[in-house]
Amino acid sequence: MKSVIRDFFAQNRITLYGVLPFSECAVIRPDLLERRFSGTPRSVLIYAVPYYTGPGQNISCYAVSRDYHLYFEALAQQLQKLLAGCSSASFADHSPFDEVRAAVRAGLGVRGKNRLLITREYGSYVFIGETVTDLPAGEFGLPVPAAGGGECPGCGACLAACPTGCLRGTGESCLSALTQKKGALTPGEEDAIRSAGLVWGCDRCQQVCPLNRKTDRSPIPFFSQERLPGLTGEILESMDEESFRQRAYSWRGRAVIRRNLNLFTEES
C-alpha cells in the first residue's frame, strides 16, 4: 500500500500528505461523516494541494482558477478506485474534521495566527483534503507522526493587516465573508470592500505573511489552466452558465458579484 499511495500522490504532483489514526482527528461535523461514510472509521489520509499560480486582480487568488471543488471531486474518484475493497469517503472544505488541526498533526505545516495551514513549500496557499477509511493507519506504510503540532512564529503581521480587524478581535466579519454576503451591505461594509479593491475574497493576511515570501507555485496543471485573474461587469455578463458554474464564486450567484462590482462603478 505504501508504494501505491506514494505513486498516486506523485502522479497527481502532491508532495504533502500523511495519515493519522481516526482517533487523532477532531470531528466537528459528525452528521456529515455519518451521511458520507459507512463502516468503522480507522484512519484518515490528509493531503495539502497547492493552488497558487499568481495573484488575482480584484479576486482572491484561490478563485483565479476554476473551482477547486472540481479538482477534489476528480481526486476523490481516483482514490475511491485505488481503495476499492475498503470503505472510504473524501472531503475538502466542507469537512467533518478540523482540517487545519489534522494537517498540522500529520506534519504538513503549522497553524497561522490567521487560522490557515502554513506549509514550508507553498506557504498558506494550499487546500486541505481528507479521505477517511476503515483501514488501520499502519496499513498505508506511511509514518504516523508523534504527538505534537506547530504554530507560526507569531510575528503578528496578518493580525495587523486584517482589513476589518476580525483577526484582531476588533471586527465581526472578515472581508472575504463580506464580499460573499447576500443582500444589502451596510455603508461600512461597502467602504471596506471599496478600500480593499476586491469583489470576491481577500488575501491580505496571506500577502503580508513572511512565510509566504518564497513559496513555490502550484505544479498541478488544473490550477494554471483557464485562469481568470479578475472580474469586470463585461466579463461577468459574457460568461455562459456552464462557464460560470465552473468558478469558485458561482455558488453565491451573479447578483452578489454584480453588487460588489457596482460599488466601484458608483465610486467612479
Active site positions, annotated:
93
CA atoms within 13 Å, Cβ hemisphere of 104 = 19
Contact 110, 151 (CB under 8 A): yes
Contact 152, 113 (CB under 8 A): yes
DSSP secondary structure letter of residue 97: B
The residue written with cell numbers 510575528 in the block is 155
Classify burial at 87, counting beta carbons within 10 Å of its beta carbon; exposed 0-12, middle 13-18, buried 19 or more.
Answer: middle
End-to-end CA distance of the chain: 60
For the record, the C-alpha cell of 55 comes out as: 495573484
